[in-house]
Amino acid sequence: MAQVTSYDVATRAGVSQSAVSRAFSANGKVSSATRQRVLDAARELGYKPNLLARSLITGRTNMVAVLASQTTGRYYPEVVQYLADALGEAGKKMLLFYTDGRIERVEDVLNEVSCFQVDGIITSTQFAPDRRELIRGLNTPMVLFNRQDPLDEFRSVICDQNQGAACIASALLAGGRRRIAILAGSADNYVARHRLFGTIDALGSAHVGTVDGDFSYECGITQASALWALKPDAIMCMNDSMAMGVMDGLADLGVGVPADVWVTGFDGTAAGRLKRYDLTTWVQPLDQMVAQTCALLDALMAGNEGHSQVLQGSMHIGRSAPL
């Protein structure tokens, strides 16, 4: 059976082939009535547009590469879902690449990305300073999501991590907490570093110690005993996943939250709002961050300079720290 072509669709719908092409383009200029006739004809004939051929004509693939450093945990799956929804609504396809959090893995992933001729890149992972030339060589617009380039050569959209952490610390002090322990994230992680800086600066002498972490729920469980050994009246965890792990780990030790110690998180994940945890946390405005990221990427793809954005989050007060 011969393959159905755009000419067949045009003949069935009573329009030109160019009208068929415009009807299948998200930004194609065609009336709603004509578009519907084309779509009806295509469905009746079983026609599927040739995306590769269209990309050769337009110079666009409508594909955006998203580089994620984690696909587990609570935060990153939410980010990926927001990005997939926003890009889909804009008529773009998302290609997801996983870097597993290792900076040295980023070069391999970027080489993979170059094979797909994507129109743009959104990355929530870090890259080594000596990899700038490799990124420039891709000649592809890129936006950093919740990461910041110190040189601002690559544009970014971030939530102010320092400010959020400082606000939680200040609220705990205002709530009468005087012995506050910290469960940190990975030292080489941009977000973890800035949250830790903001926390320590705000706590001052109320800081009784920092325990190393890695942003995972399992880490929170295993480090609960080390944190409790510091005799804190509050524990600030640098993300929600670890905070939930700490709460479960403390429960295993017979320690009550918030009766014996307060616990806070950071991110504002859906899991943290579960009744079992009801975390006091700093909520990152993911919907705004994703919208700004997509708008900035569109501006860069259109040849505009674009400007990096810094957004503010907000505190959610839950049962884990009744401020």
The SS3 assignment for 90 reads coil
Closest of 162, 157, 93 to residue 290, by C-alpha: 157
The SS3 call for residue 185 is coil
Q: How far apart are CA 62 and CA 114, in angstroms?
A: 15
Give percent of the chain above pLDDT 70.
Answer: 93
At 228, is the secondary structure helix, strand, or coil? helix
Report pLDDT for 1: 53
Count CA within 13 A, CB hemisphere, residue 221: 5
Angstrom distance (rounded) from CA 154 to CA 113: 17
The average pLDDT across 315-323 equals 98
> Using one digit for the tens of pLDDT, what is the confidence trace for 33-76?
998 998 899 889 888 776 555 554 555 788 999 998 765 568 88
Q: How confident is the model at residue 172 (pLDDT cuts 50, 70, 90)?
A: very high
- 209: tokens are 């110690």
What's the whole-model pTM score? Answer: 0.83
182-215 pLDDT per residue, tens? 999 988 888 999 999 999 999 999 999 999 999 9
Residue 91's region, left for phi above 0, alpha for psi from -120 to 50, else beta, is left
Per-chain mean pLDDT for the chain: 91
β-bridge pairing 281-283 and 314-316: antiparallel
- Answer for the pair 121, 113: CB distance below 8 angstroms, yes or no: yes
Cis omega before residue 258 (within 30°)? yes
Domain annotation for the chain: domains and CATH numbers: 6-58 (1.10.260.40), 63-159+286-313 (3.40.50.2300), 161-284 (3.40.50.2300)
Classified as helix, coil or strand, 170 is helix
199-202: long-range contacts, CB 8 A cutoff, minimum separation 24: 199/165, 199/166, 199/168, 199/169, 199/236, 199/238, 201/162, 201/166, 202/165, 202/166, 202/169, 202/170, 202/173
- Give residue for tokens 């307060």: 262
